[in-house]
Structure 1
Amino acid sequence: MRITVEGVNEGQPIPGPFAFAVPDPKEHMSLSDNRNPKVVWDGVPEGTRGFALLVVDPDAPTDASDVNQDGKTVPADLPRADFYHWVLVDIPADVRQIDEGEDADGVVPRGKEIGQTAKGIRGANDYTDFLAGDPDMKGVYGGYDGPCPPWNDERLHHYTFTVYALDVTSLGLSGESRGPQVVEAMQGHILDQASVTGTYTLNPNV
């Protein structure tokens, strides 16, 4: 399989319009266009009955106590964990692309709906947890929401877009499906997969 994420090149910075936030010299960061990039895939193996799409950042801090705090930094050697930015499952077998802005176009306070769309079933991304303590932003964040690493993080973050070709039409997930649930449900059903990884930081010193 092959995947193309327009504007996202392997190992290169992700453009600001695809991010949740961009650097701001006065406020450290400001909200961005938060548009999903166009994703196209081909070279699909025989027997494919559906697809899943995940975007994951493996560089999320495991301790958020110093995140976005003036006078502090998040050290590069702090243990990290996966943060899922896009969870889309049960994509029909005849779909080969998701257009720019089709799943996300702007930051939506309190999130976007999960559930059925024309291109599959939206699960919940990890902003659902990250923003749970913010009374103005908390909610269930469905579909795509772009990069917003801590502006004081010493580590460059990586964002891997992966399309999976599956031998089932449905993973049987319902409700607020999350990235790890999708990974578990796909085991034994993956015929092929393709990925591309871009980078992003809000720290001007990284």
Structure 2
Amino acid sequence: MLRHGLLSPALLTLVLASGCGGSEPASPTPTTAVTLTVTSTAFTEGGAIPADFTCTGAGNRPPLQWSGASAQAYAIVVNDPDAPGGDYHHWIVVDLPAGTAGVGAAIPGQARQLKNSAGEAGWTAPCPPSGTHHYRFTVYALSAPTRASTVENAFAAIEKTTIAAGTLTGTVAHQAASGR
């Protein structure tokens, strides 16, 4: 992994891809008076996200639970607003079915994961290139499924159909490479 204190090409690519924003669409910001309560057994609001859920660990997706509103569908957007180029989307999942109250390692079959800022359909573990970054796990309760296949269409559908939303924010601090 580390040779003479330098990052391997694969790790360097991951670090650069995980921390760079770009011309990403802004995360949905619908207005709603109803708030979902979003929690995780892995970390608390404003707390550090454990290494197991970052690029320095296994890179697993942390479990999420929510309550506070019934909906026809749910969507989750995880973003890093502190990325050098602005909003970096780590995970976008839409059309979680009515009655879903959380996700763990697996998501319901009818839900769809859209391409994130790394160009992957799925979870990209946090890996800040410097400093401490805030990762917002926002759950949207929707009046209808998005049926979207692109991020832009999904975000537009989320804006139009959100009946409640809630966010859990965790932090990850940059881990400098050790020069073994």
Contact 1:98 1:119 in 2 (8 A): no
1:191 aligns with 2:163: yes
User: Percent identity, aligned pairs only?
Assistant: 30
Judging changes above 3 Å, is the alpha-carbon distance between structure 1 residues 201 and 122 closer, same or farther for their aligned structure 2 residues? same
Structure 2 Cα separation of the partners of residues 10 and 182 of structure 1: 26
RMSD: 1.7
Normalised TM-score (structure 1): 0.63
Task: Name the residue aligned to 2:63.
Answer: 38
Gap runs ≥5 in structure 2: 1-35
1:171 aligns with 2:146: yes
One-letter amino acid of the structure 1 residue matched with residue 171 of structure 2: T
Task: Name the residue aligned to 2:111.
Answer: 120
Gap runs ≥5 in structure 1: 23-31, 63-80, 104-116, 129-140
1:184 deviation in Å? 2.2
Task: Name the residue aligned to 1:111.
Answer: none
1:102 deviation in Å? 2.3
1:148 aligns with 2:127: yes
2:48 to 9, 13, 37: 13
More helix by share: 2
Structure 2 Cα separation of the partners of residues 172 and 102 of structure 1: 20
Structure 2 Cα separation of the partners of residues 4 and 86 of structure 1: 17
Structure 2 Cα separation of the partners of residues 82 and 6 of structure 1: 25
Structure 2 Cα separation of the partners of residues 40 and 166 of structure 1: 16
* Misfit runs of 4+, over 4 Å: none
Normalised TM-score (structure 2): 0.72
One-letter amino acid of the structure 2 residue matched with residue 17 of structure 1: D
